[in-house]
Structure 1
Amino acid sequence: MENITILGFALYEILFYFVIYAFLGWCLEVVYAAVNTGSFVNRGFLNGPVCPIYGVGAVIVIDLLMPFRDNLVLLFITSVFITSLLEYVTGLALEKLFNDKWWDYSQYPFNIRGYICLKFSLAWGIGCILTMKIIHPVIVEFVKLIPTFLGNILLLSLTIVFVIDLVSTVDTVMKLNFRLKRIHEISGKIKEKSNILGEGISRDTIELKRKYEYQAVEIRKKYNDLSEDAIELKEKYQNDLIEIKEKYENSLAEIREGYEREISELKENYKKLTGRRNHLHRRIIRAFPDIKSNRYFEALNELKRNITKK
């Protein structure tokens, strides 16, 4: 296993560096979230305590920056460039894969499409200097202390757990997108039915009113043509007029109730979808509070609002 070499490191070392830096990156994100929110937030893309982008980034950065280790200026400049490129490509790839923008730096100055910004790029540059000068030498010595046999067993176990977690997370994100699709569709139907309700009520009101007025005119005409002593007929016509009015009002009420019943059912389904507790969906949204859906923007915002209420 140690004979296999990638990026200048043995595969054994690469896997250990990936795991360690992915875990340290997760710790860094948790600390950052705690400072900004005052509470614990699992900031990783995966469910477990790892941020793969940190693991991948650390392996690439350490290998590529090793020649500049003793030149702080070049080390800083190349660190900024490499980490920014990695963050940009990762953000773009995730958006293309899931149709969701997982983080957005648009509110920061000197950003590029919200994927990267000067503030964090400079922070990554400083972080890389600390890693190359202080952190990585310690990690190298730590990995050397682990017996190879035990290390292989540990790496195999962690790899299996990582793959399971990755599959589970991808499934969670796909189900979240399906949930957003249903919310979006129901929201559209509610708007459509509401428009139909308004148009239908207006149309039916005008038609029923026309019929009522026509019949009322005919009844009043017959009523006026009666002699003053035809009291019974006059009462009958008056009752007919009242009956027609009640029938008109009842017809309108039935029409409204029919439309309102459909809208009420849609709203109930909408409420269930947006209010249903799913701790995995909640974790994803809490981990990436700036996440934006390219297809279901309003649906995701509604889901965010309901999640932050709880």
Structure 2
Amino acid sequence: MGLLNLAEQVVLWWMCYSCIGWVWETGLNLVLKHKWVDRGALNGPICPIYGNGALLVLLLLHDVTNPVALFLGSGVIACTLEYVVSWQYERMFHIRLWDYTDKPFNINGRVYLNGFLAFGAGATLVKLVVQPWLAQLTATIPQPWLHIAAWGLLAVAFVDWMASTMGMADMDNRLARLGEDVKAGRLEAIDKANDDMAEANARMEQRLAQVQRSAQERLDQTRERIDDTIADIRAARRRDESAALDRLTKDHVRRALSRQQVRLLRAFPSLRSSTHRELTDRIHDLLER
């Protein structure tokens, strides 16, 4: 087998395991949350971290056949990769796609025990069962078709990766602008509420001045009615402001963020911006409604 032929087969292996990872992530979310969400970090139906993890296990543990050793080694490799990718995303894009802080036995919220167990078991299955069958299958592909499939899929994945990376890199800037818009809208709502309350207080003073000539009992009754009216105004204004702010924020989310960025926020409920955490919490709440 020539080097080019092997490299092209490796590309197909990587794509296959990346697609399997996407099916696993999306299917698991569908089963546990009864909700269809595209769980890929890229726009296409692939999770590259699964493909990278599988290839690392096949490369680094190529001579390991003991299931226990393979399980432990695979878990360590997978968790190390997951930790590095999480740290790199946060360093480069100021976002965390996943956060296991609330999970038991986690390390800085980037990896946790269940992930170690799942990845260890999955990689062991891949190494002992899936890979021999897959390698045999790709070896039977005629050379011309292997060239077309490998280079075509690699080109599509590269374009997708570039577009997704640009979207992630731009997310922090868009969140910053969105935060300014929301802040401006919030201040506008508060100013309007203050103006309305000032107007209501002025009307109250006017009415009090008019009834001061009346009997004390009538004055007390009027005060009670006015207090009730003011309380109703305040309650209605709070409801209106909250509803208006929600609509404003949701509209801004759809306008200010790209379709890919909104999809990522839907796909990763624990996605948080390290510089705009409160805002991403707010967006998650709105998108889940």
Provide TM-score, normalisation by structure 2.
Answer: 0.75
Alpha-carbon distance in 2 for matches of 1:177, 1:302: 15
| Contact kept in structure 2, 1:179 and 1:273, CA below 8 Å | no
Q: Find the partner of 2:31 among 35, 40, 57.
A: 35
Q: Report the Cα offset of residue 170 of structure 1.
A: 2.1
Alpha-carbon distance in 2 for matches of 1:194, 1:42: 36
Identity rate, percent: 29
Aligned pair in 2 of structure 1 residues 198, 284: CA closer, same or farther (>3 Å)? closer
2:269 equivalent to 1:274? no
Alpha-carbon distance in 2 for matches of 1:78, 1:271: 45
Aligned to 1:300: 280
Alpha-carbon distance in 2 for matches of 1:75, 1:166: 30
Any idea what the Cα deviations from partners look like across 1:84-118, whole Å, max 9, x if unmatched?
Answer: 11111111111111100100111111100111001
| Structure with greater contact order relative to length (CA < 8 Å, sep ≥ 6) | 2
Q: Report the Cα offset of residue 76 of structure 1.
A: 1.6
Aligned to 1:160: 155
Aligned pair in 2 of structure 1 residues 13, 169: CA closer, same or farther (>3 Å)? same
Q: Report the Cα offset of residue 38 of structure 1.
A: 1.2
**1:81-230 mapped onto 2 (5 Å cutoff):** 81-190=76-185
Aligned pair in 2 of structure 1 residues 82, 28: CA closer, same or farther (>3 Å)? same
Aligned pair in 2 of structure 1 residues 132, 182: CA closer, same or farther (>3 Å)? same
Alpha-carbon distance in 2 for matches of 1:162, 1:128: 23
Q: Report the Cα offset of residue 48 of structure 1.
A: 0.6
Alpha-carbon distance in 2 for matches of 1:275, 1:306: 11
Q: Report the Cα offset of residue 142 of structure 1.
A: 1.0
Larger radius of gyration: 1
Aligned to 1:283: 263
- Report the AA paired with residue 184 of structure 1: G
Aligned to 2:47: 51
Alpha-carbon distance in 1 for matches of 2:145, 2:254: 46
Segments of structure 1 that go 5 or more residues without pairing to the other structure are: 202-262
- Report the AA paired with residue 282 of structure 1: V
Alpha-carbon distance in 1 for matches of 2:26, 2:153: 21
- Report the AA paired with residue 113 of structure 1: N
- Report the AA paired with residue 50 of structure 2: Y
| SS at structure 2 position matched to 1:10 | helix
Aligned pair in 2 of structure 1 residues 279, 187: CA closer, same or farther (>3 Å)? closer
Any idea what the Cα deviations from partners look like across 1:15-70, whole Å, max 9, x if unmatched?
Answer: 1211111111111111111111213221110111111111111111111112112x
CA RMSD of aligned residues (A): 3.4
| Contact kept in structure 2, 1:274 and 1:302, CA below 8 Å | no
Aligned to 2:71: 76
| SS at structure 2 position matched to 1:68 | coil
Alpha-carbon distance in 1 for matches of 2:12, 2:112: 30
Any idea what the Cα deviations from partners look like across 1:180-207, whole Å, max 9, x if unmatched?
Answer: 1112123344566678899999xxxxxx
| Contact kept in structure 2, 1:275 and 1:303, CA below 8 Å | no
- Report the AA paired with residue 36 of structure 2: F
| Contact kept in structure 1, 2:96 and 2:272, CA below 8 Å | yes
2:21 equivalent to 1:25? yes
Aligned to 1:207: none
Q: Report the Cα offset of residue 155 of structure 1.
A: 1.1
Aligned to 1:2: 2
Alpha-carbon distance in 1 for matches of 2:250, 2:115: 38
